[in-house]
Amino acid sequence: DPVVSPDGATVAFTTFPHGQDKPGDVATVPFAGGAPALVTQTRERREFNPVYLSRGELAWIEQSRDPKEPDLITSRTAGGTPVVLARSSNRIIAARTSYDGTTLGWLIGQAGERDRKVTDYLLRIRNLAKGQERFIRFPPGERVVSVGF
Protein backbone atom coordinates (compact mmCIF):
# COMPACT_ATOMS: atom_id res chain seq x y z
CA ASP A 1 0.00 0.00 0.00
CA PRO A 2 2.82 2.52 -0.56
CA VAL A 3 1.58 5.94 -1.68
CA VAL A 4 3.59 8.96 -2.89
CA SER A 5 2.80 12.44 -1.52
CA PRO A 6 1.33 15.03 -3.93
CA ASP A 7 4.66 16.91 -4.06
CA GLY A 8 6.54 13.67 -4.81
CA ALA A 9 8.89 14.12 -1.84
CA THR A 10 7.61 11.40 0.53
CA VAL A 11 6.34 7.82 0.44
CA ALA A 12 3.89 6.62 3.12
CA PHE A 13 3.37 2.93 3.84
CA THR A 14 2.18 0.43 6.44
CA THR A 15 4.90 -1.11 8.58
CA PHE A 16 4.92 -3.75 11.30
CA PRO A 17 7.63 -2.62 13.75
CA HIS A 18 6.46 -5.06 16.43
CA GLY A 19 6.15 -8.09 14.11
CA GLN A 20 3.71 -9.24 11.42
CA ASP A 21 1.33 -10.69 14.02
CA LYS A 22 0.99 -7.30 15.78
CA PRO A 23 -1.05 -4.25 14.67
CA GLY A 24 0.56 -2.18 11.94
CA ASP A 25 1.61 1.47 11.98
CA VAL A 26 1.90 4.10 9.24
CA ALA A 27 5.37 5.39 8.39
CA THR A 28 6.89 7.79 5.87
CA VAL A 29 10.26 7.89 4.16
CA PRO A 30 11.78 10.57 1.88
CA PHE A 31 11.42 9.53 -1.78
CA ALA A 32 15.09 10.41 -2.30
CA GLY A 33 16.05 7.97 0.47
CA GLY A 34 16.65 8.11 4.17
CA ALA A 35 15.34 6.64 7.38
CA PRO A 36 11.63 5.86 7.80
CA ALA A 37 9.71 7.84 10.43
CA LEU A 38 6.68 6.42 12.24
CA VAL A 39 3.56 8.59 11.90
CA THR A 40 1.48 6.38 14.20
CA GLN A 41 2.76 4.42 17.18
CA THR A 42 -0.05 2.63 18.95
CA ARG A 43 -0.49 -0.97 19.98
CA GLU A 44 -4.22 -0.61 20.73
CA ARG A 45 -5.23 0.06 17.14
CA ARG A 46 -4.18 -1.25 13.75
CA GLU A 47 -3.26 1.66 11.47
CA PHE A 48 -2.87 0.96 7.76
CA ASN A 49 -3.75 1.98 4.17
CA PRO A 50 -2.27 5.52 4.08
CA VAL A 51 -3.61 8.03 1.54
CA TYR A 52 -2.75 11.66 0.81
CA LEU A 53 -5.36 14.43 0.71
CA SER A 54 -5.34 17.53 -1.54
CA ARG A 55 -3.12 19.72 0.66
CA GLY A 56 -0.66 16.94 1.42
CA GLU A 57 -2.26 15.78 4.68
CA LEU A 58 -1.78 12.10 5.38
CA ALA A 59 -4.82 9.97 6.29
CA TRP A 60 -5.13 6.28 7.24
CA ILE A 61 -7.54 3.62 8.46
CA GLU A 62 -7.61 2.77 12.18
CA GLN A 63 -9.10 -0.45 13.53
CA SER A 64 -9.43 -1.28 17.20
CA ARG A 65 -8.83 -4.74 18.61
CA ASP A 66 -12.22 -4.34 20.29
CA PRO A 67 -14.93 -5.04 17.68
CA LYS A 68 -17.32 -2.76 19.61
CA GLU A 69 -15.09 0.23 18.82
CA PRO A 70 -15.73 1.96 15.45
CA ASP A 71 -13.26 1.89 12.59
CA LEU A 72 -11.93 5.34 11.69
CA ILE A 73 -10.26 7.18 8.85
CA THR A 74 -7.99 9.70 10.53
CA SER A 75 -5.98 12.58 9.08
CA ARG A 76 -3.18 14.68 10.51
CA THR A 77 -1.00 17.44 9.13
CA ALA A 78 2.68 17.38 10.07
CA GLY A 79 2.78 17.83 13.83
CA GLY A 80 -0.97 18.49 13.95
CA THR A 81 -3.82 17.05 15.95
CA PRO A 82 -5.56 13.98 14.44
CA VAL A 83 -8.95 14.63 12.82
CA VAL A 84 -11.51 11.87 12.21
CA LEU A 85 -12.71 12.03 8.59
CA ALA A 86 -14.96 8.95 8.71
CA ARG A 87 -16.33 6.57 11.33
CA SER A 88 -17.98 3.19 10.80
CA SER A 89 -19.45 0.57 13.11
CA ASN A 90 -18.58 -1.96 10.36
CA ARG A 91 -15.10 -2.85 9.12
CA ILE A 92 -13.43 -0.32 6.81
CA ILE A 93 -11.51 -2.52 4.38
CA ALA A 94 -9.81 0.00 2.10
CA ALA A 95 -9.64 3.73 1.38
CA ARG A 96 -8.44 5.81 -1.56
CA THR A 97 -8.46 9.44 -2.62
CA SER A 98 -9.08 10.87 -6.07
CA TYR A 99 -5.98 12.00 -7.98
CA ASP A 100 -6.49 15.59 -6.85
CA GLY A 101 -7.05 14.48 -3.23
CA THR A 102 -10.43 16.19 -2.92
CA THR A 103 -12.58 13.05 -2.80
CA LEU A 104 -12.26 10.22 -0.29
CA GLY A 105 -13.71 6.77 -0.93
CA TRP A 106 -13.80 3.91 1.55
CA LEU A 107 -15.04 0.34 1.34
CA ILE A 108 -17.06 -1.12 4.21
CA GLY A 109 -17.78 -4.80 4.76
CA GLN A 110 -20.77 -5.87 6.86
CA ALA A 111 -22.73 -9.03 7.55
CA GLY A 112 -25.28 -9.61 4.81
CA GLU A 113 -28.88 -8.53 5.28
CA ARG A 114 -30.27 -11.79 3.86
CA ASP A 115 -27.48 -14.16 4.88
CA ARG A 116 -25.32 -13.17 7.89
CA LYS A 117 -22.52 -15.50 6.64
CA VAL A 118 -22.14 -13.51 3.41
CA THR A 119 -20.40 -10.12 3.51
CA ASP A 120 -22.18 -7.18 1.88
CA TYR A 121 -20.00 -4.35 0.60
CA LEU A 122 -20.75 -0.64 0.57
CA LEU A 123 -18.58 2.05 -1.04
CA ARG A 124 -18.92 5.48 0.60
CA ILE A 125 -17.65 8.50 -1.34
CA ARG A 126 -17.22 11.98 0.18
CA ASN A 127 -16.27 15.27 -1.43
CA LEU A 128 -14.03 16.63 1.33
CA ALA A 129 -14.42 20.31 0.36
CA LYS A 130 -18.23 20.29 0.08
CA GLY A 131 -18.99 17.54 2.59
CA GLN A 132 -21.29 15.85 0.08
CA GLU A 133 -21.49 12.10 0.49
CA ARG A 134 -22.97 9.27 -1.51
CA PHE A 135 -22.73 5.51 -1.46
CA ILE A 136 -22.82 2.49 -3.75
CA ARG A 137 -24.22 -0.78 -2.41
CA PHE A 138 -22.87 -3.80 -4.24
CA PRO A 139 -25.07 -6.84 -5.01
CA PRO A 140 -25.25 -9.37 -2.13
CA GLY A 141 -22.40 -11.87 -2.29
CA GLU A 142 -20.28 -9.78 -4.67
CA ARG A 143 -16.71 -9.68 -3.32
CA VAL A 144 -14.95 -6.30 -3.44
CA VAL A 145 -11.40 -5.84 -2.11
CA SER A 146 -10.19 -2.40 -3.15
CA VAL A 147 -11.21 1.10 -4.16
CA GLY A 148 -9.84 3.04 -7.13
CA PHE A 149 -10.52 6.42 -8.71
Q: Is residue 79 scored above 70 in pLDDT?
A: no
pLDDT at 140: 77
Task: Look at strands 91-97 and 25-30 and give their pairing.
Answer: unpaired
How confident is the model over 80-134, as pLDDT tens digits?
Answer: 788 999 999 988 999 999 988 899 999 998 776 666 666 788 899 999 989 899 9
What is this structure's pTM?
A: 0.87
- Cβ atoms within 10 Å of 20's Cβ, excluding its own: 6
